[in-house]
Each structure stands twice: as structure tokens, then as C-alpha cells.
Amino acid sequence: MALIKTSYGRRSFLKTSAMAGGGLVVGFSWLASCNPSPKEVAEMPKEWFEINGYLKIGDNGMATIMSPNPEIGQNVKTSMPMIVAEELDIDWNNVLVEQAPLNTTIFIRQLAGGSQSIRQGWDGLRMAGATARHMLKQAAAKQWEVPVEEVTTEAGVIHHKSSNRSVGYGEVASLAATLTAPEEVELKSLDEFKIIGTATRNVDGKKIVTGKPLFGIDQYEEGMLTAMIVHPPAFGLTLKSFDDAEARKMPGIKDVFSIKTYEKGKAKSMFDADAFPELIVVVGNSTWEVMNAKKTIKAEWQPFEGYEEEFANFSGDGSFSVKVPGGMENTNSHKEKMEALSAKLAKEARKDGNPASAFKKAAKIVERSYTAPFLAHNTMEPMNFFANVTADKAILSGPIQTPEFMEKSVSSRIGLPLDKIEIQMTRQGGGFGRRLYGHFVVEAAVISQKMKAPVKLVYTREDDMSFGNYRPAYHARYRAALDEDNNLIGFHVRAGGIPESPLFANRFPAGAVENYLAESWDVPSNISVGAFRAPRSNFIAGAEQSFLDEVAEAAGKDPIEFRIELFEKAKNNPVGENNDYDAERYAGVLKLAREKSGWNGNTTGNVYRGVSAYYCHNSYVANILDMEMKEDKPVVKKVFCAVDCGLVVNPIAATNMVEGGTVDGIGHAMYSGLTFKDGKPEQVNFDRYRLIRHSEAPKDIEVHFVKNNEHPTGLGEPPFPPIMGALANALYKATGQRHYDQPFITKRPVVS
């Protein structure tokens, strides 16, 4: 067992209070660790750490556990309360889970992004449950007049075995609420876990399958209006004028007007990114009426010369600006620019040894380039948000990954203080990074304020797919130098993109090669981009792992053995000091995948195998993909996934995330891509933008988790990037052709 402090000096992680009906309420801090640095302690309020999350125990013994982070399908609404319930030592059947609203007074990091929810909440969640359990034990001990050390708990019942007495949590909750929170509490040892590590069903599962209104798009309020936007048809254009005469005549239409997406002097967060400075808004009684009215708007657009956009960094690190060039961009010119820059010297990000000398004396050099297009997020639930803004209060509700950032943007834009703004978080029909960028939240608030009525803003699929915040387009050029004994003696990567580089200079094979060079470049663009599931890794992993397979082939080595040899070097004699991975754990997932798949380096019959492994978001994933060819078409038969994400809180949720990320990665690598002509996206719905279909998903995905006692790490994103490399490597085995440019299958449906 481990002891964990609940306070530092006068500052406590905890607050307790009695419920009105007689019960215990424990508030707890949502910190990355319960062992903060002196600097972190000094920055906290003088009396209390900010409280983040509530655990409530009623007089009937039921526990209500608030889930503070946005739920975007990663199942944190189940997994986070499981951690609290474990240390509380309560029967999971007696737990109710509620989605917490945004509350910056009592919550910290109410954000879905970076696969950090479980990792950063681990200590605080455990402490909350353990503290409540200790106080309940104290209450029972006080009531029985026995030492608290003699009191035990099990499944929500407190026992004093020597006197054969027991009492339910609910019966002493009121008394527990009057006690002082302990200075430190004892956490369970891992072998005592009964809830953590067990397969636990999604707390919203029944509601989802029975169609209960959980999602933002489901929201309805009496008197609510529907709003939709019209934006420029191409990046590089802005509004000149519009004729709304026909729209205003149509049934149910209340108003048509334009809004500025950004006003000078109004703070705007990095997650309030918007490609278009002005939008046309149509407001009416129903979605159908507004959609029809939109079609009659006659708008005139004009090019802009470019501008500089100012943002506020609400984390307290000041502000920053982004320069947006003018002009109408094209995919063909993008490719030409990236090809040209990939052949030139670029900004040096890391250099070990003497790469130039290594390549000069190499017996063999392998050089290849890889590309990937812009991608749209395509969440199942379109962008939407509800807002009801009055003179003295704003109530907003909907699917957003960054509610705290958006609350501040809304406050600045509509002129209401933060304490007058309320944001409720609904369950989200997918995020993938798209809902980090909440411009639609601000737009909904501005529209409601103007209409003086509750409004639900809805984006059509075409609106969203043509609005931006895409995954950037990328290019990576790799070179490897082999000596006469086929040892890797030099490695060079030069990577860039539009408008950002995907390079991670300190990731594998950095640290495993004596002579290593990483360079980065980028091309400014007015096409708005944003985080896409496993940002940057979602391209560079596939490129890197495809290239390593080709280098292994040139060296005459088994691709898994080749990688493991490099990990051994990184483990036993690492090059450099900033390598951001653990070589032993990295090699561990490869070895596990090899074992579970029966890998021997050879293909049998009509089955062709590809392998890859990658580290991101603090977790390690290895894939072995089995492919068949049927009627000259590749069919993914099976994928073996080995994952090291530390201790697995909920195996069902974890397996679901690995399976989902695997299917998602295969689909994007094979089929998806967004191209531009004169600034206009050429794919704005699923008739032209290709997603994977049910029949194309792997027939079987076998998931294996490394068993260790490491604290939990990220899992929403890590399974996504590496599968692309395994897919490319299997395609090579199956077809004899290397695939360097995504999507691998470029044939699109014929549209009449």
C-alpha cells in the first residue's frame, strides 16, 4: 500500500461538506499528480487547491461520482468513476455517474485531448475515493467507539470483525461529513483492485442504443430557433455582399444577417481558430426551413490579401499571432512546393555524430519520400451548439472538447463576465480533434445574443467538411546509410507540411543511430488546420515504419529483428540525452506481437504480413497485419495489436479504443484525402470523400495488453498511427509494390 498526502502546508486537496439530505460530499483536486512541484504548490490558492470533481454518498448508500472531462467516445465517463469507486471500495452496482458541467472554480483540465484524461487524473481520482472511505471508517469507528485501525470495508459496507458489527456507507455518511479530512490516506495495493482491471460496461450504453437524448444535436428547448451559416466557398475568399431577399420570404425564416468571426480587441483562444472572417447566418424555426432558405442566398465573394490573426493563450503564457497568406491554393502547387523543400537544407532540429561523413562512406544508401493529403475529421455528429444569451446570463450546451477555452472566448466576445456564463457538456458523437476548435460555440452565442432568443446552431456535413481545421498535408524524406556489414550507421529525416511539420526529432530511431540528423520545414497556408487524432504522429509513424521495413530489407534482416537490434542499442548505449521513449517497453510490444501472431518473417499461401510499432502519447503499440488478395484487391484478414499503456483501467473500453483506432487508421491510409482547386475543397461529402466501409474493416482484431504496474497512459490516440505502416508493409508483400503516397487506393466513386 502507498500513503498519499491530501494537503501541503495549509493547502488541502480536499473539501468536505454535508448534503442537505444527510450525506457526505467530498471535493477533490484534479491534478496531474498528488506530488506537485514546489512551484505548482506556490501557484495554488492560499487556502485550497482548486477542487475538481465531486463524490457524493447519500443516506441510502448510493454513490454519485461526477465525471468532469468531456466524453467523446473514449469512455472516460465510465473509466474515471471506476478509479474513484475502486478506492472508495463500493459495489459498482451502487454507483451513479453524472457528467459534470464546466466549472473552472472547482475543476482543473476539463478537456478531451492528448489522451491525458486518465493519466493526469490517476492520483487525484484515487485519493478522492480513498479519502471518502477513510472518513466513513472514522465515522463508524467513532460511533462504535473502537480504533479506526480495526475497521475494514468491503463493497460499501463497514465492518468491525471482532465485535461482529457492520454498517452501510449511507448510515454513517452524515456523520462522516462533519469530520476533518485526513492529512494523508492509504491507497490500495494493485493486487487489491476489484473494479480497476475488470470489464465494465459503458454507463451510457443503454441510453445510446435506446436513442435517449444524450448528444448536442438532440437538444431542444421551448421557443428555440435553428441557425445555420453560409461561408465562402473557397479558402482565400471573404464576403463582399449578399442578397437575402428570397430567403426572407420563405416560411419559418426569422432573420438573415452577417457576423464577424473575430473582432479587434476581443480575446480569442488558440482553439477558436476560424478560416473565414465573416459569415452569413440564416435563422428560422426548423432545420428544414433554414436549409432551404440557405440555398436561395446570393452571395458575392472577394479575395483577401492575407491578414494576421491574434490569439490569447488562456493558460497564462501570453498571446500569439498567426500570419494567414492571401491567394487561392491548389493541391498541385502544394505538391510542387513540398517536393522542392524536401530536397533543400531545412531547419536543423537534432544532430548526433557526423551524418554527412556516415553517408559519404556508406556501402549502401536507401532514400525514399512519403506524402499524405489533408484530411477532414468527419465526426458522426455534425458540429452544433445551443446558446441562450440574455442581458445578464449566457447558458450554452453542446459537444465541445475545450469548454474552458471556449467559455473565455465567449465571455470576451459577448461582453459577459465568466461567472455569468454556464457551459453544459453533452456526450459527443466523435471528436478526433475537430471539437477542440470551438468557433461554433462563439458563433452560437453571438447569434443568440442578436436574436434575443435560444438558438441551436447546426452545421451541415458540407458546411463542416468545407470549413477547415483539417489534418495538414505532409511530406517526409528519409535516407539511411548502411555499412558493408549491413549495419545502420546513418539516418536522416527531413519532414515538413502545409502549414506545419510532422517531425518528432527525438523519437525512434533517434538514440539508436550514432549519426542522426532531423530537419524540419513548413509552408504557410490560409487553409485552416488543427489537431487530428494523434497529431503529426498520424502521418510520420506510417512513413517511418514503412521506411524502416525497406531499410531492413536492404540489410537482409527480418524487420522485427532489425528494429529490436536498434532498441537494444538505444537501451544499452543510447545516443543523445533527449530520447523520448523507453527502448525496453518499445521492444516489449514488438516481442509480444511477434509471440501472439506466430511471426516467423515469412508469408504462407495467400496471406501477407506487415509489421510496425510506434510510441506516442506515453504509450507503445505494435501491429502485425495479415492481408489476403481477393480478385486483385487487398483484404485485411486479421490484425494483432500489442499495447503497453500501463495499467488498464477498463479492458472493454481499452479494447474498443484499440479496435476503433486500428480500423480508423486503415481507412484513412487506404482511402481518405482532401484536395483543393483554386482554394475550394473538391470533396465536401461522402459521395467523393472516401471512408472505410464495414466490409473493408479487418475481419478480426486481436488485442493484447502488456501486463505491468506502470501508471495508466494514453490510449485514445496511440493505436491510430502505427497501423498505417503495417498496412503499407503488408501491401508491399502482397503486391510487390511499395506505397509512398496516401491514400494508397486513389480510385474514387464516379459521381454523375
pLDDT(313) > 80? no
pLDDT at position 265: 74
**225 close to 451: Cβ distance less than 8 angstroms:** yes
Asked if residue 624 and residue 579 are part of one domain, the reply reads yes
pLDDT in tens, 465-519: 999 999 999 999 999 999 999 999 999 999 999 999 999 999 999 999 999 999 9
- Is the omega angle on the peptide bond into residue 403 within 30 degrees of 0, that is, cis? no
Grid coordinates given for 268:
480569442
Residue 518, beta-bridge partner list: 350, 493
Amino acid residing at 639: V
Does residue 743 form part of some domain? no
Q: Position of cell 501486463?
A: 707
pLDDT at position 19: 72
**Cα–Cα dist 748/494, whole Å:** 31
Instruction: Provide mean pLDDT across the span 261-283.
Output: 86
pLDDT in tens, 544-563: 999 999 999 999 999 999 99
- CA angle at residue 99 from 18 to 48, to 5 degrees? 45
Asked if residue 226 and residue 189 are part of one domain, the reply reads no
The conformation of residue 741, written as its DSSP 8-state character, comes to: B
The last residue of one of the domains, among 432, 458, 484, is 458
The three-state (H, E, C) secondary structure of 246-269, written as one string: HHHHCCCEEEEEEEECCCCCCCCE
pLDDT at position 370: 98
Does residue 286 form part of some domain? yes
The last residue of one of the domains, among 429, 458, 487, is 458
Does residue 414 form part of some domain? yes
**429 close to 381: Cβ distance less than 8 angstroms:** yes
Asked if residue 259 and residue 124 are part of one domain, the reply reads no
Does residue 325 form part of some domain? no
| H-run or E-run covering 410 | helix 403-414
Does residue 432 form part of some domain? yes
Nearest Cα residue to 84 out of 70, 65, 68, 60: 65
Grid coordinates given for 652:
472493454
| H-run or E-run covering 11 | strand 11-12
Asked if residue 447 and residue 475 are part of one domain, the reply reads no
Does residue 744 form part of some domain? no
Q: Within 13 Å, how many C-alpha atoms sit on residue 747's CB side?
A: 2
**Residue 279: CATH number of its domain:** 3.90.1170.50
Grid coordinates given for 553:
530489407
The conformation of residue 529, written as its DSSP 8-state character, comes to: B
pLDDT in tens, 374-426: 999 999 999 999 999 999 999 999 999 999 999 999 999 999 999 999 999 99
| Centroid of chain to Cα 157 | 38
Asked if residue 305 and residue 370 are part of one domain, the reply reads no
pLDDT at position 32: 45
Does residue 746 form part of some domain? no
Asked if residue 180 and residue 148 are part of one domain, the reply reads yes
pLDDT in tens, 65-119: 989 899 999 999 999 999 999 999 999 999 999 998 998 777 778 889 999 889 8
What confidence tier does 26 reach under pLDDT thresholds 50, 70, 90? Answer: confident
537-572 burial, b at 16+ Cβ within 10 Å, e below that, comes to bbbbbbbbbbbbbbbbbebebbbbebbbbbbebbbe
Asked if residue 569 and residue 442 are part of one domain, the reply reads no
pLDDT in tens, 598-646: 998 666 778 999 999 999 999 999 999 999 999 999 999 999 999 999 9
Does residue 599 form part of some domain? yes
Q: Please, what is the angle between helix 403-414 and helix 439-451, to 10°?
A: 40
Asked if residue 227 and residue 192 are part of one domain, the reply reads no
**Cα–Cα dist 720/714, whole Å:** 12
Helix, strand, coil content of the chain in percent (nearest 5): 30, 30, 40
Mean pLDDT of the chain: 92
The conformation of residue 595, written as its DSSP 8-state character, comes to: H
Asked if residue 46 and residue 154 are part of one domain, the reply reads yes
**Cα–Cα dist 482/515, whole Å:** 11
Asked if residue 621 and residue 565 are part of one domain, the reply reads yes
With a CB cutoff of 8 Å and minimum separation 6, the contacts of 368 are 477, 478, 546, 547, 550, 738, 740
Q: How many domains does the chain have?
A: 3
**Cα–Cα dist 26/85, whole Å:** 13
**Residue 369: CATH number of its domain:** 3.30.365.10
**311 close to 320: Cβ distance less than 8 angstroms:** yes
Asked if residue 183 and residue 244 are part of one domain, the reply reads no
pTM: 0.94
Q: Which domain holds residue 589?
A: 345-375+470-735
pLDDT(43) > 60? no
pLDDT at position 419: 94
pLDDT at position 601: 67
Asked if residue 619 and residue 564 are part of one domain, the reply reads yes
Q: How many helices (H) and strands (E) does the chain have?
A: 17, 34
pLDDT in tens, 229-252: 999 999 999 999 999 999 999 999
**85 close to 67: Cβ distance less than 8 angstroms:** no
pLDDT at position 181: 83
**Cα four-point dihedral sign 726, 731, 737, 741:** negative
With a CB cutoff of 8 Å and minimum separation 6, the contacts of 521 are 341, 342, 344, 346, 347, 494, 495, 496, 501
With a CB cutoff of 8 Å and minimum separation 6, the contacts of 378 are 430, 464, 465, 689, 691
The last residue of one of the domains, among 412, 428, 458, is 458
